[in-house]
Each structure stands twice: as C-alpha cells, then as structure tokens.
Amino acid sequence: MAENRFDFDGKPDIAWCPGCGDFSIRQALLSALEELGIERGKLVMVSGIGQAAKMPQYVNSSFFNGLHGRALPVAIAVKAVAPDLTVIAEGGDGDMYGEGGNHFLHAARRNPNVKLFVHDNMVYGLTKGQAAPTSREGMRTPVQVDGVISAPLNPVALAIAMNVGFVARAFSGDVEGTKAIMKRAILHEGFALVDIFQPCVSFNRQNTFQWFKANTRALEPEYRADDRAAAFSRALEEEPFPLGLLYESGGRPVFEDRLSVYREDKRPLRERRHDMSMLRAVMLERRIP
C-alpha cells in the first residue's frame, strides 16, 4: 500500500492469523480514510473485545477499546461531546450483534452519526470457535457439538426494519468494494451499518473464503437503494446473500444534533469550559447530612 497516514511507520505487530479476512478489511479501512482525506486527529475508533475489535489498535488514530459488546454506547457518547469528529465503531458479529445486540437496537433508534463496521465471520473467533449470532443453523462447534439449533440473526434486515439510514453488506475478499462502501457510509449523515463477511480461517471451517464467494452475489447495477420495502425484501435473500448498498435514506434527525446543549451553542461540548464551582455547589446542596 502507498504511504497512508493511518498506517504506522514500520510494521505494526498484528495479532491475527495469517490468511484472516481481517487484514483485507484493515486495508480497505485505511484506504477509505486516506482517500476521504480525513484528518488523523479527527478520527476516533471505538471497539469492544474480539479479533475484529483489535482493529482500532492497528489504525494510527485516537481510539477507545472497551468492554465486550459495549462499543456503541461509548461511540455515541464520543459523538455527543465531539460531533465534529468521525466516529467509527468496529468489531465482530459476537461483539456487536450478541453481547452488544441491545446497544445495536438502541443506536438504530437514536440515529447518531456513528459508523458501525462489523466483521461477520459467523463465529466467535477470539474464544476459539463457539457459535455467534450469525452462525448458520446446523454448524458444529466444540460447544454446539450437535450443531447450532438457533436461527441466525439477519443484521441487514434488522437494520432496515429499524429504519437505519445506511445499510450495506460487503465481503473482505473484495477490498475495493469494501472500501467504496466504507467511504459512502462515512459520508452518510446518520447511523450506518456495514456488515462485512470475513472468513475466519482458524475456527470456521464451514464458511470459508470459497463458501462466501459461492454464496454471495453483487446487487445488480440498476438496483436502487432508496425503496425501504424493496431493500427489506432483498435483505432477506440468503445463499446467495446480496452484496452492496441495500438501503440508503436521509432525512432522519441525527441524535447529537437534537441534544439541548447544542440548541443555542454549536461549539462541541469538549471545547467548552466547565464551571466547577456550580458542580461543587450542587453537590454540597444535595449532600446527605
């Protein structure tokens, strides 16, 4: 890759298995950020726990790496105090749809201008191969020895049902396509989901690179992404799963724009001085004798 401001000088010490799809997603992300000309000091990456959730540590920007499943509340809080920054929450299918599934629903309701990039390898990679919310029914794992008996979550259909304004699916095997979708997601005003299929070469021997190639299909060039009902219907398609921008619509108010602190004063909260004497006075007033 040509010199990229979001890459590190020298080789970062990346703890992913050789051949993991996460490398291609990183390449797509770094190129997307570079090509959009985002200032390095104006990006915050947020994640939880997992292989995918290591991503912020491999991007040369500010980041917060927190608890499993809790990336979105942190990302929304960052956006609330710093609406001028680009905020990307990134992690795995377990992190974002399992442990963090409740936060996913409520982020969709709030519509913060946060970008959610999910590495969907249909497995818990970091903890060595248990079923994730997107694991296919029947998949055998060391824990689900008789095969997964729960129906898989369909994140893109769920997001469209919740009226998320930007919903797309990408495949790590197509770096250029993933980059292009990431760029559009970043430019979208409001909450954006990109579900990115990614082979886990060590712990998912069922959904391999070849399986994703055989079971995905690009949306037709004439497909229009502005019809929500049509998008929902396409989102329900499986094997082959459609790849590309399924749904985009503007117009929903953005969470941080509606906060009362910005009604009269547009300066980001993080730039304002706080009057500690007021806080002290309130605490003294409320003190239990």
Ligand X SMILES: Cc1ncc(C[n+]2csc(CCOP(=O)(O)OP(=O)(O)O)c2C)c(N)n1
* Site residues for ligand X per CB under 6 A: 49-52, 68, 91-95, 99, 119, 121, 123-127, 132
| Closest to 249 (Cα-Cα) out of 167, 158, 159 | 167
Secondary structure letter of residue 198 according to DSSP: -
Q: How far is the CB of 161 from ligand SF4 (least distance, A)?
A: 28
Contact string 172-201 vs ligand SF4 (x = CB under 6 A): ----------------------------xx
Secondary structure letter of residue 151 according to DSSP: P
Of the candidates 17, 187, 279, 281, which one interacts with ligand SF4 according to CB under 6 A? 17
Classify residue 213 as exposed, middle or buried by CB count within 10 Å of its CB (0-12, 13-18, 19+).
middle
Stretch that binds Mg ion, among 24-32, 92-100, 237-245, 266-274 (CB under 5 A): 92-100
E strand residue ranges, 66-197: 86-92, 114-120, 166-171, 192-197
Task: Between 55 and 85, name the residue whose CB sits nearer to ligand SF4.
Answer: 55
Of the candidates 48, 91, 92, 155, which one interacts with Mg ion according to CB under 5 A? 92
CB under 8 Å to 201, separation ≥6 — which residues? 17, 18, 19, 20, 21, 208, 209
Q: How far is the CB of 95 from Mg ion (least distance, A)?
A: 7
Is 36 strand, coil or helix? Answer: helix
Contact 6, 34 (CB under 8 A): yes
CA–CA distance, 209 with 252 (Å, rounded to integer): 37
Binding flag, residue 100, Mg ion (CB under 5 A): no
Residue 16 binding: pick among ligand SF4, Mg ion, ligand X, none (C-beta 5-8 Å cut-off by kind): ligand SF4
Of the candidates 57, 144, 163, 202, which one interacts with ligand SF4 according to CB under 6 A? 202
CA–CA distance, 107 with 78 (Å, rounded to integer): 13
Of the candidates 6, 16, 104, 247, which one interacts with ligand SF4 according to CB under 6 A? 16
Task: Between 127 and 215, name the residue whose CB sits nearer to ligand SF4.
Answer: 127
Of the candidates 86, 121, 154, 216, which one interacts with Mg ion according to CB under 5 A? 121
Binding interface with ligand SF4 (CB under 6 A)? 16-17, 20, 22, 51, 121, 125, 200-203
